[in-house]
Amino acid sequence: MMDQEQNRRSSLIVTLLFLAAIVAMCAGCTTPPVRQKWPDAPKFSEQTCPQLEKLKEGAQLSDVAKTVTINYSTYYECAVKNDAWIEWYKIQKSIYEGTYK
């Protein structure tokens, strides 16, 4: 009589532990997924382009040509870098946000 009662209790405890394990595993499945936010642009991307050179007093025509050439190359180099970075950032952001729709 005593053995049967102990066997019942043991099987009841094992069953309860098994059910508790199943409930614990299923509880983890019901949590909603965490949605990451796309990071803001880093501060270095907000850097401005360098100042363009100015003509000095009494500049000759050759100095004007040199200064214009330097200024054009400085401006377009900076513009190309910034435009390329902005385009890359926007594309990456749209790809990232498109995966969570």
| pLDDT of the residue at 73 | 93
pLDDT at 2: 65
Same domain, 9 and 55: no
Question: Could you tell me if 97 and 52 lie in one domain?
Answer: yes
Average pLDDT, integer, range 36-55: 79
Range of the domain at 10: 1-31
CA distance 71 to 100: 44
Whether the pLDDT of residue 101 is over 60: the answer is: no
Whether 96 contacts 89, CB under 8 Å? no
- What total of structural domains would you count in the chain? 2
Say if residue 10's pLDDT is above 80: yes
Residues 43 and 27 in one domain: no
97 and 50 in one domain? Answer: yes
Q: Phi and psi dihedrals of 36, rounded to 5?
A: -80, 145
Same domain, 24 and 44: no
Q: What is the DSSP letter of 44?
A: G
Are residues 61 and 88 located together in one domain of the fold? yes
Looking at the fold, whether 12 and 44 belong to one and the same domain comes out as no
Q: What pLDDT sits at residue 44?
A: 67
Question: Do both 64 and 83 map to the same domain?
Answer: yes
**Is the domain of 13 the same as that of 49?**
no
**Residues sharing a CB contact under 8 Å with residue 45, sequence separation 6 or more, in sequence order:** 82, 85, 86, 89
pLDDT at 62 over 70: yes
Residues 19 and 1 in one domain: yes
